[in-house]
Amino acid sequence: MPRPPGSGHCLPELKPEAAMIPVKGYEGQKLAVLGLGRSGLATARALIAGGAEALLWDDSPEARAKAEAEGFICTDLTRAGAFDGVAALITSPGIPHLYPTPNKVIARALEAGVPLDNDIGLFFRSFAGPEWDDFDITPRVICVTGSNGKSTTTALIHHILDVAGRATQMAGNIGRGVLDIEPAQDGEVVVLELSSYQTDLARSLTPDVAVFTNLSPDHLDRHAGMGGYFAAKRRLFAEGGPDRAVIGVDEVEGRFLANQLSEGPQDDRVIRISSGQKLEQFGWAVFARKGFLAEWRRGKQVASIDLREVVGLPGAHNHQNACAAYAACRSLGIGPKLIEAAFQSFAGLPHRSQLVGEKAGVRFINDSKATNVDAAEKALQAFPKIRWIAGGMGKEGGISRLLPHLGSVVKAYLIGHSARDFALELGDTPHEICETMERAVLRAAEEAVAGEVVLLAPAAASFDQYPNFEVRGDDFAARVKAWLG
């Protein structure tokens, strides 16, 4: 694509066959893009495909170099006058826009009155096109948010749709950037995982089905506390007005949200879900108890699925994910039997209760995504006898809240920056400070006996030893596979 006359700011020539959602409504206008990771570069390409001019910047020289290697030209958005004539600033989700303090580029945009948005907002304003007039079935968008289980729920919905023969794409906080997907086909369903960083800022949020899994403390510095964190999640429902809302009601915030969205307990536009509670009194509910999923509508049970032998969804937390995915897919008219078959073929996601291997009756489970206490709690409740590998960059509050849930832990093997702090909080639970993943896997594998599980569920961030939880999980898996031979 030719560079706009006199711009000097963009861009690489885009291949005509490149799949993306061209951004609409900004043709001939200048937009600034802050943050040049996966979503930022996809945003820049989509803006150019829609006829806009993109001014790119990242505080990291390495990120700028990567963008320039692709053919982009970066523009210093920190300089005076950088936002003259700019229609909007599109920022990547990891960049603070309010708390604890705004990024300096965002602060300049706010001072200049330049609208702030992100790729999620651009997606919702650009996804529909005139070609939809010829479709038999209008494409749908399902959005999944919450503290824990978002990725598994999103992937499970996508898997069910695929098994059902529905055209589907998965994007957002998992897989591809939202503007990097292909334009919709007739009847297609796009499934998006959205973090609080993404829902907090998007100026347009219009999902057809919105899912709220659960809420537990996380990212509190970014949202100035639990109230701000919940408010960011709530925007998906309050701003978007979905046709159907699937709400986890195992915490008070979920019950409050379901209450706000419904006109009464029989309002079946809200599907309440739970892992552990009976919800028979509502117009539409899906809940799991003692390993069985049940769907109830207007006081009658209409379906049941035995989840106990579904290998890809172990434990009560995954049963909650199953309820959420089931409810979302039932709202699209997919039958219970087909959903049950899809459950059985779901392999799970890497780093989320992932079975890495087994030897002599000992299973090795990678739940590196359990980066906070609540996620670790759910992992610890999924197995009866556990050799627990934990630690990393501990979060505020430590792991004291896990003490009531350590009954299944035979021994803990502690790694990383917070190993000694965690050791002081474990009470009578046997433990060993291993510091490194290599030693923790070795010691746990040597001591484990048949019927036990060696579980990586760190209850901590990875940044002390690894760039992200995926690399940490890969290291665990590599150490396990070396042990298994």
Q: Which residues are annotated as a binding site?
A: 146-152
By the 8 A CB rule, do 400 and 425 touch? yes
CA distance 270 to 333: 15
Length of the chain: 485
List strand residue ranges (DSSP E) for 13-97, in order. 30-34, 53-57, 86-91
The pair of three-digit structure tokens given for residue 433, joined into one six-digit string: 């400070």
For residue 97, how far is the Cα from the chain centroid? 20
CA distance 283 to 268: 5
Q: Which of 154, 42, 34, 157 is nearest to 96 (CA)?
A: 34
Cα-Cα end-to-end distance for the chain = 52
List strand residue ranges (DSSP E) for 71-173, in order. 86-91, 116-117, 140-145, 168-172
Amino acid at 478: A
Binding site residue list for ATP: 146-152
Distance set, CA 264 to CA 268, 284, 442 (Å): 9, 11, 55
CA distance 66 to 74: 11
Residue recorded with tokens 């347009």: 204
By the 8 A CB rule, do 416 and 392 touch? yes
